[in-house]
């Protein structure tokens, strides 16, 4: 059977790195087995729904190339659309179905109307917790007859609908990642499935929608493991075949707590905005909790899809290690086709200079130093300044005397002056010429090359002098050397 999986986030915030991983695993699983990957939005918590949440989730997934083939999506104009035969895919649009399912459960005597006030229940719960027992619904509504309930509803009393869970016995099920898991019904509370607002809770909506949409495998965070029995109860109540479950290990903050938005910037949009490449992020996130082999770190999205194996997903939570993301990202930037790199790097710099060749040479020169895209700007900044601030740098090597620096720079200036523009652009040619000069004068590398490099960069740390010459080109290089010479006067 063709597997059908879904990523079902709720738009209570922006897509974060944990959501991205869940979505990615869904997508990889679907691709690996030739199945469908569906995006469903679970927006039943109206109060917590944030403006632009759905757009953000879709756009972030799109940016990362994690594309569902069914369900909610965003078009090129940024408009939310739905596609597929099992819609609607936005949960609040399905509330009539949820309502009907809940009523059916009530008819089957597997759910009941409950008129207890939240305040009273909270107090009860507190007492139960204090005395060390599992908090369970302990009101009288469970035993209300259908007629009594209907009467009170007709009178306008507020109510919720609760599952009528067994109070004894055990439930056992298989999890693809964790194997056999067992729970006692006695510790399980009669879950609310319809809130007093009339909207369903996650437990009912998600379960019914999964069934209605033909979902075969549910991949979700480990935090759902304890409520799986309730979901299974619903499947059983309707006589439906439940999907297979795979509870993914959680992503952790540096303090080992469940990854949350409060700690650090874990939103995908934010991470991308910081200059991480989507390919690097996908690669990174895929390996948080799963590893296809022992000795490789870099995988394309397609390779991941070919190798993905749910059964090999780890059980333990994974801490998000941003240093490794940095390393991966730097590697992806180095591996970018030159044109792609230039296109992206060009967006990072601000300068009036419109000598495209010069700009590209500068961008290419600093590429190996770029960890995140915006690094390009600081790394190339000195190239584009009218004047460098030579007060901030020692133009001499170690304790080199001023007249010696001047002597070196003058000779270097003449050498560049006499060189052909095409030669200045070639690192090897200039290196040869300058080394020859050094040799003929019996100078040292350090006392000659440091002043040159410092003159060209105005910095203690920079790429090498030959590379700088090649990036500047003859005219610009001469201006810098002259400036340095003037500064020494």
Partner RNA sequence: GGCCUCUUCGUCUAAUGGUUAGGACAGCGGCUUUUCAAGCCGUUAACAGGGGUUCAAUUCCCCUAGAGGCUACCA
User: Site residues for RNA, window 250-279 (CB under 7 A)?
Assistant: 250, 252, 255-258
Binding-site member from 100, 148, 212, 226 for RNA (CB under 7 A) = 226
Asked whether position 324 contacts RNA by CB under 7 A, the answer is: yes
Q: Catalytic residue at 79?
A: no
Asked whether position 291 contacts RNA by CB under 7 A, the answer is: yes
Binding-site member from 108, 123, 146, 315 for RNA (CB under 7 A) = 315
Asked whether position 249 contacts RNA by CB under 7 A, the answer is: yes
Q: Which helix (H) or strand (E) holds 456?
A: helix 445-457
Binding-site member from 327, 382, 384, 390 for RNA (CB under 7 A) = 327
Pick from 48, 5, 46, 9: nearest CA to 27: 5
Concatenate the DSSP letters of all residues of 354-393 into one string.
--HHHHHHHHHHTGGG-SSTTHHHHHHGGGG-SS--GGGS
Q: Which helix (H) or strand (E) holds 160?
A: strand 160-163
Binding-site member from 64, 215, 288, 485 for RNA (CB under 7 A) = 288
Binding-site member from 12, 92, 344, 351 for RNA (CB under 7 A) = 12
Rounded least distance, CB 352 to RNA, Å? 26
Concatenate the DSSP letters of all residues of 167-196 into one string.
SSSEEEEEETTTEEEEEEGGG----EEE-T
Asked whether position 123 contacts RNA by CB under 7 A, the answer is: no
Separation CA 397–CA 403 (nearest Å)? 12
Asked whether position 299 contacts RNA by CB under 7 A, the answer is: no
Asked whether position 125 contacts RNA by CB under 7 A, the answer is: yes
Task: Dig out the tokens for 41 from the structure.
Answer: 């939005």
Separation CA 90–CA 213 (nearest Å)? 12
- By CB under 7 A, how many residues form the interface with RNA? 89
Residue nearer to RNA on the CB measure, 275 or 317: 317
Residue nearer to RNA on the CB measure, 21 or 476: 21
Q: Which of 62, 97, 258, 261 is catalytic?
A: 261
Residue nearer to RNA on the CB measure, 48 or 107: 48
Separation CA 485–CA 410 (nearest Å)? 8
Separation CA 285–CA 26 (nearest Å)? 13
Rounded least distance, CB 386 to RNA, Å? 22
Asked whether position 195 contacts RNA by CB under 7 A, the answer is: yes
Asked whether position 92 contacts RNA by CB under 7 A, the answer is: no
User: Contact region for RNA (CB under 7 A) — 68-76, 343-351, 383-391, 443-451?
Assistant: 443-451
Separation CA 136–CA 296 (nearest Å)? 49
Alpha-carbon Rg for the chain, nearest whole angstrom, is 32
Concatenate the DSSP letters of all residues of 33-80 into one string.
TT-EEEE-B----GGG--TTHHHHHHHHHHHHT---SEEEEE-TTS-E
Rounded least distance, CB 101 to RNA, Å? 15
Binding-site member from 368, 414, 439, 475 for RNA (CB under 7 A) = 368
Pick from 58, 430, 38, 458: nearest CA to 209: 38
Binding-site member from 93, 108, 274, 312 for RNA (CB under 7 A) = 312
Residues 172-191, one symbol each (x = binds RNA by CB under 7 A, - = not), give ------xx-xxxx--x-x--
Asked whether position 336 contacts RNA by CB under 7 A, the answer is: no
Separation CA 245–CA 178 (nearest Å)? 10
By annotation, the residues acting in catalysis are 261
């Amino acid at each position: 059977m063709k597997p059908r999986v879904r990523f079902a986030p709720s738009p209570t915030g922006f897509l974060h790195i944990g959501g991205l991983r869940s979505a990615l695993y869904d997508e990889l699983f679907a691709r690996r087995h030739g199945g469908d990957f569906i995006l469903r939005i679970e927006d039943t918590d109206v109060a917590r729904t944030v403006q632009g949440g759905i757009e953000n989730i879709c756009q972030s997934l799109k940016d990362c190339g994690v594309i569902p083939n069914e369900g909610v999506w965003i078009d090129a104009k940024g408009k939310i659309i739905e596609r597929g035969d099992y819609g609607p895919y936005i949960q609040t649009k399905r509330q009539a179905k949820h309502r009907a399912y809940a009523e059916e459960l009530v008819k089957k005597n597997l759910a009941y109307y409950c008129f207890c006030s939240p305040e009273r229940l909270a107090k009860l719960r507190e007492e139960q917790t204090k005395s060390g027992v599992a908090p369970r619904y302990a009101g009288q509504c469970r035993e209300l007859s259908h007629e009594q309930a209907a009467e009170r509803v007709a009178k306008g009393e507020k109510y919720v609908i609760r599952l009528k869970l067994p109070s004894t016995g055990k439930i056992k099920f298989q999890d693809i990642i964790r194997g056999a898991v067992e729970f006692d019904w006695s510790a399980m509370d009669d879950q609310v499935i319809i809130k007093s607002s009339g909207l369903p809770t996650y437990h009912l909506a998600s379960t019914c929608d999964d069934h209605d949409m033909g979902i075969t495998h549910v991949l979700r965070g480990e935090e759902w493991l304890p409520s799986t029995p309730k979901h299974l109860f619903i499947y059983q109540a309707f006589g439906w075949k439940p999907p297979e479950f795979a509870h993914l290990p959680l992503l952790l903050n540096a303090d080992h707590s469940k990854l949350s938005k409060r700690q650090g910037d874990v939103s995908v949009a934010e991470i991308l905005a910081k200059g991480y490449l989507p390919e690097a992020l996908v690669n990174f996130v895929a390996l948080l909790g799963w590893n296809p082999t022992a000795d490789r770190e870099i995988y394309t999205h397609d390779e991941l899809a070919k190798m993905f194996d749910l059964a090999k997903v780890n059980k333990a939570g994974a801490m998000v290690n941003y240093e490794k993301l940095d390393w991966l990202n730097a590697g992806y930037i180095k591996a970018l086709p030159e044109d792609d790199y230039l296109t992206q790097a060009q967006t990072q710099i601000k300068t009036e200079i419109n000598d495209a060749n010069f700009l590209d040479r500068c961008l290419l020169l600093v590429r190996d130093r770029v960890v995140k895209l915006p690094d390009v700007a600081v790394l190339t900044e000195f190239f584009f300044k009218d004047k460098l601030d030579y007060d901030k740098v020692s133009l001499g090597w170690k304790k080199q005397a001023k007249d010696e620096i001047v002597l070196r720079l003058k000779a270097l200036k003449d050498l560049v002056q006499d060189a052909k523009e095409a030669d200045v652009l070639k690192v090897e040619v200039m290196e040869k010429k300058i080394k020859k000069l050094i040799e003929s004068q019996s100078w040292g590398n350090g006392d000659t090359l440091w002043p040159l490099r410092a003159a060209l960069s105005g910095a203690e740390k920079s790429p090498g002098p030959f590379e700088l010459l090649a990036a500047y080109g003859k005219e610009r290089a001469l201006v810098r050397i002259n400036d340095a010479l003037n500064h020494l006067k």
